[in-house]
C-alpha cells in the first residue's frame, strides 16, 4: 500500500490562457501579442475562442451556454482583443461578451496603468516619463452601467428619463480596499479618491465615509480626495503628483481616455479586469477600430503591454519585464506604427518586439 507521501497530484505547469481576439483590429493585434509572449518563453498555453461578430452573424451565438463558468473553471486568465462591429449595430454580442465577463465573473476592479514610455509620445509640452506614471483603479460592476432607469411619457414633449447610479456598500468598500492593496503591493505612496460628492451627495457621501474607514487599515499610505473635474485639470497640469486613483465606473471610463492620451493614445494603453483570486481578464484599452481594421496599421503595443500585465498578474514577472523592456526599446528606436510616429505595420512592429524579447 502507498503511504500518503507517495500520492502524486500533478499540478499544471503551464498557465492556461483563454484568448478571445474578437472583432476588427482585435483579430490583428492579438495574434501578434501572442507571438511576443511565446518569444518570452513564458510557461503558458493558449486556447482561442471565436466569440465575436462573425460567429454571432453565422449562428446567433454571443457566448455559448456554460461559457463564463467554463472560463472561470478551466483557465487562469482571459486575454481579449476588442469587440464591436458595424454589421451588428446594437453591438449586442460585444455587450454580452465583455459586460458578461465583467458582471457574471464579477471582475470588479478595472486597473489601468498610465505610464509614459518616452517623451515623444506625450502631447504635453516638456513632459518626461518621470512625470506620467500613475494607475487608475475603476469600479467595474456598478454605477450607471447597471442599466437601471426608465422613461415616462416616452416620445412626448413631457418625457421624463431617469438613469440610476448604483453604489453598494460592499461594492464601494471592495474597490477602495483593492486600490489600497494595489498601492501597498506595488510600492505606491498615495491613494486619491475622485468623485463628485458635492453634487452626487448620497453616493459620494458613501464613498467618502468608506474611503476614510478603509484608509485606517493602511496607515503607511497617504490619502487624498479630489473632485473629478479638478482631477482632469491636474492630469494635464501636474500629472507627476498622481499615484493611485480610485473612482467609480463612469468617471473611470472618462478619465482613462484622457490618461490614454497622456501616454501616446489608445494604441498604447493596457488594462486588466480583476477579481483577486479568480480568473481575471486582460484587454487593451482601444476598441475594434473598424475604420483601420484589416490594413496592418493598428498599433499592437497596447495589446503587447496588456499581455505583459497579464503575465505579471500570473506571477510570470521576469517574462513580463522582458516584454515591457522590449516595447520600451521599440519606442526609443522608433520601431512603431504610424499612429505614434513610426513607419512600421502591425506585424512588423510586433515582430521586432518579439525578436528583441527572444534575444
Residues identified as active-site:
145, 196, 229, 253, 257
Residue among 76 and 339 whose Cβ is closer to ligand ATP: 339
In the bound complex, what is the minimum distance in angstroms from residue 345's beta carbon to ligand ATP?
11
Residue 342 to residue 225: CA distance in whole angstroms = 39
Side-chain-side CA neighbours of residue 321 (13 Å): 4
82 lines the binding site for ligand ATP (CB under 6 A): yes
The strand pairing partners of 270, in sequence order, are: 284
153 alpha carbon, distance to own chain's centre: 39
Nearer to ligand ATP, 82 or 193 (CB): 82
The answer to the question of residue 96 lying near ligand ATP (CB under 6 A) is no
| Residues 250, 264 contacting (CB under 8 angstroms) | no
Query: Which of the stretches 97-105, 140-148, 291-299, 316-324 binds ligand ATP when contact is defined by CB under 6 A?
Result: 291-299
The answer to whether 62 and 56 have CB atoms below 8 angstroms apart is: yes
Stretch that binds ligand ATP, among 194-202, 204-212, 217-225, 282-290 (CB under 6 A): 282-290
Kindly identify the residues of this chain, within the stretch 332-351, that bind ligand ATP according to CB under 6 A. Answer: 339
Q: What are phi and psi of 285, to 5 degrees?
A: -75, -30
Q: Could you give the CA distance from residue 314 to residue 323 in angstroms, rounded to a whole number?
A: 15
Of the pair 210, 289, the CB lying nearest ligand ATP is at: 289
Applying CB under 6 A, does 266 fall inside the site for ligand ATP?
Answer: yes
Q: Give me 67's grid cell.
A: 461559457
Instruction: Give dist(CA 80, CA 67) in Å, integer.
Output: 14
State the nearest-atom distance from the C-beta of 9 to ligand ATP, in Å.
42
Contacting ligand ATP within 11-70 (CB under 6 A): 25
Q: How far is the CB of 63 from ligand ATP (least distance, A)?
A: 18
Nearest in space to 344 (alpha carbons), one of 286, 307, 298? 298
User: Is residue 117 a contact residue for ligand ATP (CB under 6 A)?
Assistant: no
- Shortest reach from residue 269's CB to ligand ATP, in Å: 9
Using the rule CB under 6 A, which residue among 298, 310, 314, 336 binds ligand ATP?
298
What is residue 13's three-state secondary structure? coil
Q: Which stretch binds ligand ATP (CB under 6 A): 108-116, 231-239, 294-302, 316-324?
A: 294-302
To ligand ATP, the closest distance from the beta carbon of 32 in angstroms equals 11
Residue 157 CB neighbour total at 10 angstroms: 5
Query: Is residue 291 a contact residue for ligand ATP (CB under 6 A)?
Result: yes
Contact pick of 287, 330, 344, 352 for ligand ATP (by CB under 6 A): 287
Non-local CB neighbours of 285 within 8 Å, separated by 6+ positions = 112, 256, 260, 266, 269, 270, 271, 302
Ranges of H-type helices in the chain: 26-39, 53-59, 67-74, 92-94, 100-104, 169-185, 201-215, 228-237, 249-262, 301-313, 317-332, 346-358
**Interaction between residue 264 and ligand ATP (CB under 6 A):** no
271 binds ligand ATP (CB under 6 A): no
Rounded CA gap, 269 and 261, in Å?
Answer: 9
Residue 286 found at the interface with ligand ATP (CB under 6 A): yes
Q: How many residues bind ligand ATP (CB under 6 A)?
A: 16
Neighbour-count burial of 328, counting CB atoms closer than 10 A to its CB (0-12 exposed, 13-18 middle, 19+ buried)? middle
Interface stretch with ligand ATP, choices 45-53, 156-164, 195-203, 290-298 (CB under 6 A): 290-298
- Residue corresponding to grid cell 498604447: 268
Least spacing, CB of residue 118 vs ligand ATP, in Å: 17
Please select the residue that binds ligand ATP; options are 140, 167, 288, 306, rule is CB under 6 A.
Answer: 288
Binding footprint of ligand ATP on the chain (CB under 6 A):
25, 82, 84, 266-267, 286-292, 298-299, 302, 339
Amino acid at each position: 500500500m502507498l503511504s500518503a507521501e507517495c500520492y502524486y497530484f500533478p499540478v499544471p505547469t503551464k498557465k492556461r490562457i483563454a484568448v478571445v481576439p474578437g472583432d476588427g483590429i482585435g483579430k490583428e493585434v492579438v495574434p501578434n501579442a501572442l507571438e511576443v509572449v511565446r518569444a518570452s518563453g513564458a510557461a503558458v498555453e493558449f486556447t482561442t475562442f471565436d466569440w465575436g461578430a462573425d460567429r454571432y452573424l453565422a449562428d446567433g451565438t454571443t457566448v455559448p451556454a456554460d461559457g463564463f463558468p467554463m472560463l472561470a473553471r478551466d483557465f487562469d486568465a482571459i486575454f481579449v482583443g476588442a469587440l464591436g462591429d458595424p454589421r451588428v449595430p446594437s453591438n449586442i454580442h460585444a455587450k454580452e461578451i465583455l459586460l458578461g465577463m465583467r458582471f457574471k465573473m464579477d471582475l470588479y476592479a478595472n486597473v489601468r496603468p498610465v505610464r509614459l514610455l518616452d517623451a515623444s509620445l506625450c502631447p504635453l509640452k516638456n513632459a518626461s516619463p518621470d512625470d506620467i506614471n500613475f494607475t487608475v483603479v475603476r469600479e467595474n460592476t456598478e454605477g450607471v452601467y447597471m442599466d437601471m432607469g426608465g422613461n415616462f411619457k416616452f416620445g412626448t414633449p413631457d418625457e421624463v428619463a431617469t438613469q440610476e447610479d448604483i453604489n453598494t456598500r460592499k461594492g464601494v468598500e471592495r474597490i477602495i480596499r483593492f486600490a489600497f492593496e494595489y498601492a501597498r503591493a506595488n510600492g505606491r505612496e498615495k491613494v486619491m479618491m475622485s468623485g463628485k460628492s458635492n453634487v452626487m451627495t448620497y453616493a459620494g457621501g458613501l464613498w467618502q465615509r468608506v474611503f476614510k474607514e478603509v484608509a485606517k487599515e493602511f496607515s503607511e499610505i497617504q490619502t487624498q480626495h479630489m473632485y473629478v473635474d479638478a482631477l482632469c485639470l491636474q492630469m494635464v497640469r501636474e500629472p507627476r503628483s498622481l499615484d493611485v486613483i480610485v473612482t467609480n465606473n463612469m468617471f473611470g471610463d472618462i478619465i482613462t481616455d484622457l490618461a490614454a492620451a497622456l501616454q501616446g493614445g489608445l494604441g498604447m494603453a493596457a488594462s486588466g479586469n480583476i477579481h483577486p483570486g479568480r480568473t481575471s481578464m486582460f484587454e487593451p484599452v482601444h476598441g475594434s477600430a473598424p475604420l483601420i481594421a484589416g490594413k496592418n496599421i493598428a498599433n499592437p503595443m497596447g495589446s503587447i503591454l496588456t499581455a505583459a500585465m497579464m503575465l505579471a498578474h500570473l506571477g510570470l514577472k521576469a517574462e513580463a519585464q522582458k516584454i515591457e523592456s522590449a516595447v520600451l526599446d521599440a519606442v526609443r528606436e522608433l520601431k512603431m506604427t504610424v499612429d505614434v510616429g513610426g513607419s512600421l505595420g502591425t506585424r512588423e512592429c510586433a515582430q521586432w518586439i518579439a525578436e528583441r524579447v527572444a534575444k
